[in-house]
């Protein structure tokens, strides 16, 4: 890259052609975007399809249980999830259908079995 240097008030400056300056600015913005993406990846967050996020949001607004959505997303049957959470399948079914709210202890066990935070279920 071609450039010239000048000195003003004891400080050195580089003079570069405008097209080179614009290319440097674009490269700098690209590096910032890459750094931001790397920071997101480093947070060890789980990512899921947008369609699943929409389903969660819609169910939340309708005040429906989010447990069956997470269970199905994880590829588990009610029997499998109930076993992992150490509860009965009937109790899990009642929670999923909104017949019973589920105790905090039970919801924590379900959340752990689904590898989600308790907040993701309520």
CB 16 within 8 A of CB 1: yes
Q: Do 19 and 77 lie in a common domain?
A: no
Q: Do 69 and 113 lie in a common domain?
A: yes
Q: Do 16 and 74 lie in a common domain?
A: no
pLDDT digits (tens, 9 = 90+) for 37-51: 787 777 777 788 999
Return d(Cα 18, Cα 54) in angstroms, integer.
Answer: 45
Give the pLDDT of residue 27.
93
What percent of the chain is predicted at pLDDT more than 90? Answer: 76
Return d(Cα 102, Cα 98) in angstroms, integer.
Answer: 9
Q: Do 25 and 83 lie in a common domain?
A: no
- For the segment 93-122, the average pLDDT, to the nearest whole number, is 93
Q: How many domains does the chain have?
A: 2
Beta bridge partners of 4: 15
Q: Do 33 and 71 lie in a common domain?
A: no
Q: Do 38 and 64 lie in a common domain?
A: no
Q: Is residue 108 predicted with pLDDT exceeding 90?
A: yes
Return d(Cα 122, Cα 118) in angstroms, integer.
Answer: 7
Domain range enclosing 33:
4-42
């Amino acid at each position: 890259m071609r450039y010239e240097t000048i000195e003003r008030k004891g400080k050195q400056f580089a003079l570069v052609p405008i097209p080179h300056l614009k290319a440097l600015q674009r490269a700098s913005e690209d590096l910032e975007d890459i750094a931001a993406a790397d920071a997101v990846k480093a947070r060890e967050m789980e990512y899921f399809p947008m369609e699943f996020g929409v389903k969660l949001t819609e169910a939340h607004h309708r005040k429906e249980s989010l447990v069956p959505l997470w269970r199905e997303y994880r590829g588990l049957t009610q029997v499998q999830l109930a076993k992992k959470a150490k509860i009965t399948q009937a109790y899990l079914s009642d929670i999923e259908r909104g017949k019973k709210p589920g105790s905090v202890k039970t919801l924590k066990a379900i959340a752990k079995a689904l590898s989600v935070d308790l907040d993701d279920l309520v």
